A and B are shown apart, each in its own frame.
Chain A
Amino acid sequence: EPEVTQTPSHQVTQMGQEVILRCVPISNHLYFYWYRQILGQKVEFLVSFYNNEISEKSEIFDDQFSVERPDGSNFTLKIRSTKLEDSAMYFCASSKGQGNTEAFFGQGTRLTVV
């Protein structure tokens, strides 16, 4: 069964460092998303990506965040200068279509900023 894969599963980084979280969406999907879950809090939408551009982003997704689809398979989330409050589980998701189709989630990357 096709699945969304995320690497690494756990990343520890020092405050102020840049970090790139990687995702391989399901191959025939067209819509890509990043969500995050701070420990003990809700899963929160960060950004959606379609047709090689951001289609929507939340207020959390400020200038220190960026997304990219550098090739036909990967979808990355870059955090330019990490802060302690960026520590969270980051989930990548993909879907074939929009709201009435299922979004498939990856297993997440746990980011710890120290």
Chain B
Amino acid sequence: AQSVTQLDSQVPVFEEAPVELRCNYSSSVSVYLFWYVQYPNQGLQLLLKYLSGSTLVKGINGFEAEFNKSQTSFHLRKPSVHISDTAEYFCAVTGSGGSNYKLTFGKGTLLTVNP
């Protein structure tokens, strides 16, 4: 079984500032890791994913995340945010050897970008 902890429930930042949204996971098996974004009144959209290979993965909208196996972390970063990045961000994990796409989500981090 897996679990995900998103350490910050809310992160307010000013426009053009850098941001890091933290995610830690626990698992007894190898994992795939994901970040999803949910804009108001919309569904979940995949930002990026780590499956294997390079630990730095780049996603849409200028976001990137780094997989750190020793720290069991998968923090999401963006060097300069825009007001349109205001949304809820979810970190998720699934076992890489599993037969189903059963995602375990964190509680989410609400990113609010202020002018």
Contact = CB atoms under 8 A, between A and B. Distances in A.
Interface of A: 4, 31, 33, 35, 41-45, 48, 50, 55-56, 91, 93, 95, 97-108
7 contacts: A31-B100, A35-B105, A45-B102, A98-B99, A100-B51, A100-B96, A101-B101
Contacts of B51: 100
Interface of B: 32, 36, 41-46, 49, 51, 90, 92, 94-96, 98-108
A31 B101 contact: yes
B49 to A, nearest CB: 7
A95 B105 contact: no
A48 B102 contact: yes
A91 B103 CA distance: 12
B45 to A, nearest CB: 7
A107 B103 contact: no
B103 A45 contact: yes
Contacts of A103: 46, 101, 103
